[in-house]
Structure 1
Amino acid sequence: MRISNKIKTLALVLAIGLTSSCTLEEGQSLNGAQTTSISEGLSKTELPQVVAGILSNMRDRMSTQRDVMSVLGREYWVLQSSDPGWGTELAAGLLSNGSFFINNPYSERYATVKACNLLLESLEAESTKIVFTENEIVAIRGFANTIKAHELLSVLNMVYQNGIRTEVSDPDNLGPFENYDDALTTIMGLLDSGFTDITTAGEVEPNTLGVSYSEFNRAIAARVAMYQGDHAKVLSALADSFMNMEAGADLNAGAYLRYSAAGADQLNPLFNALPSSTDGARLVYPDFLDPASFEAGDTRINKAVIRSGTDPELCLAGMCGTHDVLLYESNTTPVGLIRNEELLLLYAEANMTSNPGEAEAAIDFIRAGAGLGAVGAGNVDEDRIIYERRYSLFGEGHRWVDMRRFGRLADINQDYDRAGDLSPVPNQFPIPQNEGQ
């Protein structure tokens, strides 16, 4: 896998503070005087910086992936005058195996997988076994497999039935591509083993996510189980996650990637100063705000804010909108990886047929937070799940995946598309051309 060549040997900048970014830019030398490799062993001093570096790496090109999936799901347009491909390729549905829309997120997710694999490799070194107890090694392994599973799932969500390589620990002997179902099974295996390790041996530090690694693990496991159609596993995983439906529970509680303006750290790339311009805008797809699409009084539409001026419409290459996306208050606002609101939606979906009363309770809890009344008995069905997920998880990378897994991509309203845009939207990206396929 050529895209992983930039980190054949993981190097971490030890001079950087634990809360700072440890990202590695394309082409950057990893052999400077301030770097050290963990491929031959891990020290107590290095561990927290390795963990912080992996968490930091998870942020790289995550914004590109969110934008790409939001455009395909017709949640919003991306207007970028310096890169017309957002309209001529992505919005048009022309998904090339050579575009940055797939290559960059794909590369960065596998870069984090590589970092996790090197951390796992370091646990086998004799020097590591001297300074860490067996229990500590088990805990580190649980962390690495948890993050690795999340990153593999992120890639799989983009390429879908084209499948992914799940075994990439040896760059000279890569494993075969696994199909979608088999890859989900492998990912779930990593999560289950990671959860067992963490609950047996404890948590590693640092942790800036906002929930424990074990809770994060089970939250992602619930998402994977839903993709597999295993509702019993969804409910089992949720029981050990951070899901909370008690009175006053915060729908936004969950696992987040952090940003700051300090030193070499990153700013939130999904933040837009408003009103935006064609130099970089995220314009809400008009159907989201159509009164025929949402229930009156649903405050979740406040994720869209009208542009200022007497004529708020902004257009570029036929992509037009009157409202900017407002999901992040500043350029240091954290970005959610998975939130309580999604877990409650998974809970509702898993209970929809077998225990409708529980499904209704979860949906009503979410709707109360959006200023809406109860759905009533017997009213939680597939259409209800799709509606609530659309407005609760807007701009978080779910709608395209959701409509695909329900077999309803053709139901995505494309009335505001341009003539010639592919309809229905495509269901997957091709494997990047530099994979040699």
Structure 2
Amino acid sequence: MKNSNKIKILTIFFALSIAFSCSLNEGESLNGPQITSISEGLSRPELPQVVAGILSDMRIDMETERDVLSVLGREYWHLQSSDPGWGTELAAGLLSNTAFFINRPYTARYAVVKECNILLESLEAESTITIFSSDEIAAIRGFANTIKAHELLSVLNLVYQNGIRTDVADPDNLGPFETYDAALTTIAGLLDSGFTDLTTGGEVSPNTLGVSYIEFNRAIAARVAAYQGNMAGVLSALSDSFMDINGDMNLGAYFRYSAAGADQLNPLFIALNSGDTGAAVAYPDFIETPSVPSFEPGDTRLNKVVARADFPVQLELAGMAGAYDVWIYQSSTDPVGIIRNEELLLLYAEANMVTNPGEAEAAIDAVRAAAGLGVIGAGNVDEDQIIFERRYSLFGEGHRWIDMRRFGRLADINQSFDRAGDISPVPSQFPIPQSEGQ
């Protein structure tokens, strides 16, 4: 058994809506916080609370991460007069190791990793082994490693070549920083191990993502393989994912929100025509350059932005301005996509682009048809087309900065609407937070 002195209490803020609920005994409450100690082993009543808590905590500071990625990728400006650092620091390219832009998502993601590690440790306790079958333990382990891999990947995407710690199970003996490539290999290994365990053990309850944990695991594995340049790995992972060339583009895994009980509202929802106290305004070249358009007329993906009624009076914060509000989330309870069918089809196209262009074209055509556009035509799927489709299909979902970086094309991000003095090209990575002692 592990030394239980290392980890005494797992605190889970079980502030969830009915959407996050599981089968509860009569009289049990969904309201929290509930404190669940699993240091000596995991019980059946504790399991759904731990799983639901992890799913809920994955949402913490997700909005900061999405906004940061979108500003760096010049997808939209985040305007907030109460914190001009969004313009004077982040958009300017001055990435500090003390700024909340990196510290908040970094801390939040590692907090979830910690919860997953505690859950994994509890599976080695004698009492857990007595209560749960070997298949059930495999399923729980598969869930924990899948979520852990997702959270580590989120951190790695921010710090890139600076690397991350992947071995943080023992707070008194943290593992070394791994390079970007090594960390991707570790993350891929966690996903493969999780896939094997989930295949053996099946689902864990609750699951509010919208797809099975196996399908979610393989979808994230495909994303990781693309980052590694492993196109065969992309295709292998996609074969066990929820990818459906005939399916809805919005099929996929989501963070859920509600106004019920102690649950939280979607923090990325911003009302139209908000002032500079809080607005998300599309970077102008997404839709505002008719003389040299970067978009195709009739593309319904352009509906992710809406013309402002009062441009530009309220939006001249730190020299940043735009005429279109981001309108991806149209209510405070809209779910936020983690990974969707549309992304998987574009990964499939990317993986087939060289070796099987016909399959790549079919996937691109499915995406374009959903956006009201015509077929791409034989022989026209290349890196430029992949980048174009990903830009409009995945707008505001935290991909463009990462995509342009992994294709070696950060310098191609249009910064013609930037202010004098903004760093160009945009920086490629955040420094490791100062708290890590680096």
Q: TM-score, normalised by structure 2?
A: 0.93
Relative to 1, partners in 2 of residues 1:15 and 1:282: Cα closer, same or farther, differing over 3 Å? closer
- Cα drift, residue 97 of structure 1: 0.2
Match of 1:385 in 2: 386
| Aligned match of 2:132 | 132
Partner of 1:171: 171
Aligned to 1:431: 432
Paired residue type of 1:270: L
**Residue aligning to 1:214:** 214
Letter in 1 for 2:131: V
Q: Which amino acid aligns with 2:184?
A: L
Aligned to 2:279: 281
Identify the residue that residue 322 of structure 1 maps to in structure 2.
Answer: 323
**Structure 1 contact 166–175 (Cα < 8 Å) conserved:** yes
Structure 1 residue 301: deviation in Å? 1.1
Distance 1:204 1:250, change over 3 A: same
One-letter amino acid of the structure 1 residue matched with residue 35 of structure 2: T
Deviations 1:111-164 (A, max 9, x none): 000000000000001111111111111110000000000000000000000000
- Equivalent residue, structure 1, for 2:59: 59
Matches within 5 A, 1:282-301: 282-289=280-287, 290-291=289-290, 292-301=293-302
Q: Distance in 2 between matches of 1:50 and 1:372?
A: 44
Q: 2:26 — aligned with what?
A: none
Look up the match of 2:29. none
**SS of 1:319's equivalent?**
coil
- Cα deviation, 1:76-110, whole Å, max 9, x if unaligned, reads 00000100100110000000000000000000000
In 2, the alpha carbon distance for the partners of 1:242 and 1:228 equals: 21
Q: How does 1:365-380 map to 2 (within 5 A)?
A: 365-380=366-381
- 1:9 CA drift (Å): 3.6
* Cα distance change of structure 1 residues 310 and 187 upon mapping to structure 2, 3 Å threshold: closer
> Which aligned pairs between 1:172-187 and structure 2 lie closer than 5 A?
172-187=172-187
The one-letter code of the counterpart of 1:68 is: V
Query: Aligned residues: percent identity?
Result: 75
Letter in structure 2 aligned against 1:102: I
User: What are the Cα deviations for residues 372-429 of structure 1, in whole angstroms up to 9, with x where unaligned?
Assistant: 1111100000000000000000000000000000000000000100000000000000
Q: 2:47 is paired with a residue of what secondary structure? A: helix
Spell out, residue by residue over 1:218-268, the C-alpha distance to the aligned partner (whole angstroms, 9 max, x if none): 00000000000110110010000000012xx10000000001111211110
Is 1:337 aligned to residue 335 of structure 2?
no
Distance in 1 (alpha carbons) for counterparts of 2:130 and 2:386: 52
Match of 1:202 in 2: 202
Which position in structure 2 is the counterpart of 1:231?
231
- Using the TM superposition, name which of 291-300 and 112-121 deviates more: 291-300
The 8 Å contact of residues 17 and 257 in structure 2, kept in 1 or not, is answered as no
1:147 equivalent in alignment to 2:161 = no
Q: Which ranges of structure 2 fall in alignment gaps of 5 or more residues?
A: 1-6, 22-31
> Where does structure 1 differ by over 3 angstroms across 4 or more consecutive aligned residues?
13-21, 309-313
Question: Residues 26-175 of structure 1: matches in 2 within 5 Å?
Answer: 34-175=34-175
Choose from 250, 253, 260 the match for 2:251.
253
| 1:20/1:333 CA distance change after superposition, 3 Å | same
Check the 8 A contact 1:75/1:394 in 2, yes or no: yes
Letter in 1 for 2:435: N
Which residue does the alignment assign to 1:267? 265
Query: Using the alignment, how far apart are the partners of 1:232 and 1:36 within structure 2?
Result: 42
Residues 48 and 329 (structure 1), Cα distance of their counterparts in 2 relative to 1, 3 Å cut: same
- Whole-Å separation in 2 of the counterparts to 1:12 and 1:299: 41
3-state secondary structure, aligned to 1:358: helix
Structure-1 residue corresponding to 2:351: 350
Distance 2:373 2:142 in 1: 40
- 2:316 is paired with a residue whose SS is strand
Instruction: Give the Cα separation in 2 of the matches to 1:295 and 1:228.
Output: 31
Report the alpha carbon displacement of residue 308 of structure 1 after superposing the two structures with TM. Answer: 1.4
Is the contact between residue 226 and residue 234 of structure 2 (CA under 8 Å) also seen in structure 1? yes
Distance 1:309 1:18, change over 3 A: closer
Shift of 1:42: 0.6
The 3 A distance-change label for structure 1 pair 354 and 313 is farther
Shift of 1:36: 2.6
Shift of 1:54: 0.2
The answer to whether the Cα contact below 8 Å between 2:273 and 2:308 also exists between their aligned partners in 1 is yes
Q: 1:29: which partner in 2? A: none
Question: Which stretches in structure 1 are left out of the alignment for 5+ residues?
Answer: 1-6, 22-31
Q: Deviation per CA, 1:254-289: give whole Å up to 9, x if none.
A: 000001111211110000011211110000000111
Deviates more, 1:324-333 or 1:12-21: 12-21
Aligned-pair CA distance for 1:19:
4.9
SS across alignment from 2:77: strand
Structure 1 residue 344, shift from structure 2 partner: 0.1
Q: Is contact 1:14–1:46 with CA below 8 Å preserved after alignment?
A: no
Q: How many correspondences in the alignment?
A: 419
**1:36 counterpart letter in structure 2:** T
- Is residue 305–residue 324 contact of structure 1 (8 Å, CA) maintained in 2? yes
TM-score by length of structure 1 reads 0.93
**Partners of 1:14 and 1:36 within 8 A in 2:** no
